Structure 1
Amino acid sequence: MREIGIPHPRLPLPEPGQRDDPQAFLAWLSDAIPMVEHLGIREMCWEGEQLVWVLSLAPNLNDKGTGFGGGLTAQSTLLGWCWTTLWLREHGLARDVVVAEATQRFLAPVTGDYRMTCTPESAKGPDSLAAQLQSRGRGRISLIQQLWCGDTLCLEAHGNYAVLPVA
């Protein structure tokens, strides 16, 4: 059981240049952030530089029988946090990440199970983040999250994630 004000222990870093095992990371994430087990995340994988979640709609239904905007917003924000955290871990860095700014645009109702993707807003984003971390010990990256229900883009979110300096 998590205690308020007590940080959750970090997951050990993967071998240099390796990515985390997605299932092990999701298990850790569910322990670290208790609401994660209620978000309906069925699968997580990397497709190149894109982090992908496959999700069930059932835990996120609203009163109309479609996707609940607040839950979808939480998912998009967390997906960006995961992208940033996993990118750092792949580069041998165990650092704190926070969302600095987030916006969402709802384009269509979510009417079934869905897929969410997260990619850097700019192809140069990861290199820029690496340079910021090297020169200033902290940095930011802008990411785009998209929610697809079949071939329909239902939500597009933009997030700016800050990597905090080592305390």
Structure 2
Amino acid sequence: MSQPRQPGVPYPRLPLPDSQEDLHAFQRWLGEAIPMVGALGIQRMTLDSGTLIWQLALSPSLNDKGTGFGGALTAQTTLQGWCWVTLWLRERGLAQDVVVAEASQRFLAPVTGDYRITCASSDLSGPKQLETKLKARGKGSITLNQQLYCGDILCLEASARYVVLPRP
């Protein structure tokens, strides 16, 4: 990153991909566009059949008890949903702004080691419904679910509704 981000100044968009998204380039851009990303411990992003999967290190998100800090885990799930929608739009050649409208989390077990978070539409028809709304109105929303696993243990479930804003 060449210069620190300034409040009120949007970061330049990453050019739309010519073909398949380079997730490594997207992750680098993400770290520049959103400075806190570098502190979240994201080790790898993959996309598999409509599911975005992140592998994360626990060490940057430790709390005073030596387990995952709920605020960091919440930030990760919220950001991952934003990335899912942004990547979905980019795959369709669309560069529109995405915001989170509402989110909830349910903590089920402590996170005690490195972990993975999965993110997918809460409804199989969700992506198609979003595509229909975007074509008809230029804006739309989708609800996504995230699940955080430490090994085979489900530690956190999250759900959030993301809104794709109309083009300016």
Q: Matches of 1:146 and 1:155 in 2, distance apart?
A: 6
Q: Matches of 1:48 and 1:114 in 2, distance apart?
A: 20
Q: Describe how 1:91-110 pairs up with structure 2 within 5 A.
A: 91-110=92-111
Q: Describe how 1:1-167 pairs up with structure 2 within 5 A.
A: 1-15=4-18, 18-167=19-168
Q: Matches of 2:136 and 2:96 in 1, distance apart?
A: 16
State how many pairs are aligned: 165
5+ long unaligned stretches in structure 2: none
The residue matched to 1:85 in structure 2 has which SS? Answer: helix
Q: Matches of 1:48 and 1:136 in 2, distance apart?
A: 27
Structure 2 letter corresponding to 1:33 = I
Structure 2 letter corresponding to 1:77 = T
Q: Matches of 1:31 and 1:47 in 2, distance apart?
A: 25
Q: Matches of 1:142 and 1:4 in 2, distance apart?
A: 28
Q: Deviations over 1:78-129 (max 9, x none)?
A: 0000000000000000000000010000000000000000000000000000
Contact 1:19 1:89 (8 Å CA) reproduced:
no
Report the alpha carbon displacement of residue 63 of structure 1 after superposing the two structures with TM: 0.3
Calculate the TM-score normalised by the size of structure 1.
0.98
Structure 2 letter corresponding to 1:114 = Y
Identity of matched residues, %: 62
Calculate the TM-score normalised by the size of structure 2.
0.97
Structure 2 letter corresponding to 1:5 = G
5+ long unaligned stretches in structure 1: none
Report the alpha carbon displacement of residue 48 of structure 1 after superposing the two structures with TM: 1.1
Report the alpha carbon displacement of residue 161 of structure 1 after superposing the two structures with TM: 0.1
The residue matched to 1:157 in structure 2 has which SS? Answer: strand
Structure 1 letter corresponding to 2:17 = P
Q: Matches of 2:145 and 2:9 in 1, distance apart?
A: 30
Structure 2 letter corresponding to 1:90 = E
Moved over 3 A (4+): none
Structure 2 letter corresponding to 1:165 = P
Report the alpha carbon displacement of residue 19 of structure 1 after superposing the two structures with TM: 3.3
